[in-house]
Amino acid sequence: MRFLQRTIEGLDTTNSLGAIPPQSNDGTAVTGAAIDRLGFGAGKLMFEAAAASGDPTAATTAVKITHCDTEDGTYEDFVELETELSISDAVATAYDINLAGAKRYLKVVVDSTYTDGTSPANVIAAKLVLGDSDENPADDTEVLG
């Protein structure tokens, strides 16, 4: 999927957002700030994780996009991407997301569950880049990773 910059009267309207800034995480779900997707029909969700302390060796991580009609309302799951991670090494992955059918406001949620290791903690980060609604998004039944 290509992301192009749109220009309206000289203003860059490509939307690149640090949904979850880099932070240490011990397995507690982390929710990013609300993102207004008005005018954007596709996105690329990027997720990174790396071991931070203890001896974490494996985790299941649910990386979700939730959505809502209002910025401060109740968010529901829009898409969930489960990843088995060996987190003794750094992991970086990206997914093309079709936002057709998503409500106006989005939040990224990262929820890690450690499945092996001692005293695990990791560093996580996620970014959502919104693409031009004029671009053809991924088919609405597929999530590419």
Strands (E) in the chain, as ranges, are: 7-8, 11-12, 15-25, 30-31, 35-36, 40-68, 76-85, 91-98, 105-132
Note the pLDDT tens digit of each residue in 56-102: 667 778 889 999 999 999 999 999 987 666 666 677 888 889 898 99
Q: Which fold would CATH assign to domain 7-132?
A: Jelly Rolls (2.60.120)
List the domain boundaries for the chain. Answer: 7-132
Note the pLDDT tens digit of each residue in 19-65: 888 888 888 899 999 999 888 888 889 888 877 776 666 777 888 99
Note the pLDDT tens digit of each residue in 101-132: 999 999 999 988 877 777 777 788 899 988 86
* Closest C-alpha to 80, from 49, 120, 107: 107
